[in-house]
Amino acid sequence: MPSPPVTAAAAGTWKLADRTVHRMGFGSMRITANPDRELALTVLRRAVELGVNHIDTAAFYFSPGGTLRVGSGPTRYATELIREALWPYPEDLVIATKVGPGYDPVTGAFMQALTPAALRAQVEENLRRLGRDHLDVVNLRILKKPGHDSVAERFGVLAELRDAGLIRHLGLSNIRADHLDEAAAIAPVVCVQNSYGLDNNRQDDALLRICGERGIAFVPFFAIAGARREDGAGSDHDAALWDVAHAHGVTPHQVRLAWTLHQGPHVLAIPGTGDPDHLVDNIAAGALRLSPAEVARLDSLVVEDAAAPADGRQVDPAHRARTE
């Protein structure tokens, strides 16, 4: 008989403040791109069946492909799919969402919510679509700019909503270390969610270490896509990555996820997919144990990304949001 599938528990656990989650979670953006609504619901339910209790989403994750096209027909929101698939929610399920960016419902233009009223409206939209009276974790997502770009006012708004009971815990997304310092002076930060992977955005190695030292979860996206980023997972991998994959009888994508989890006990993975088979493979990567020599060999593949200056990558924000 075939062996039972690996569950998310194999990756171990981390405490997001008062909530314990498995380190292998699920990112919900890609389920909006699947024209088969029932398949999207099946993937979400299967993820929870396999032990996932940390789901990442955002108010700006909607179809087709996570973007809004005016006049393109019915829109599928990731938050609504999560509610339809999983309500009533399991007691241990933590849903982390993001506010900050959004789309103009009239023009479809990507924009940044800067006013207190706009941020509160996004929080209330998440509450409504998820069917919750509070949000477990809300990450302030920023469009990072070169130089000093303060998050104090926007994070302060979310801290007020936390004090009012609409939000349990706060996090940050797409930030630098100075943003973390600024926000932590206002309210506790339980997680940082940045683009990061084996060969992607490795200037954030230092930020990852800082989060570990402070007991803050570091939650990478693009962990599988790597340097391909918005283009998604590819098949062009370095020979060393293939060698490690072959040695363990797994795929290079699983090795990328395993490498991510090996970066520290505070690192949480949130790979997203609309394919049930890929979901099983992603979760199974949480059981993959790499040797120190294998981790070192993979680290040796890293090259500087000249297009990613430490003061902030300038990528089209709408394209970035679609593929986060």
Q: For residues 190 and 169, give the distance between their C-alpha atoms in angstroms, rounded to a whole number.
A: 7
Is the Cα torsion angle 263, 265, 271, 275 positive or negative in sign? positive
The reply to whether 196 belongs to the active site is no
CA distances to 113, 217, 232, 284 from 159, in Å = 16, 18, 34, 36
**From the CA atom positions of the chain, what is the Rg in Å?**
19
Per DSSP, 222 falls in state S
Q: For residues 102 and 183, give the distance between their C-alpha atoms in angstroms, rounded to a whole number.
A: 21
Candidates 61, 77, 89, 196; catalytic one = 61
For β-strands 110-112 and 101-103, DSSP reports them as antiparallel
Burial of 224 (0-12, 13-18, 19+ CB in 10 A): buried
Cα torsion through 220, 39, 61, 237, rounded to 10:
40
Q: How many CA atoms lie within 13 A of 183 on its CB side?
A: 28
Tokens standing for residue 214: 């402070």
Active site residues: 61
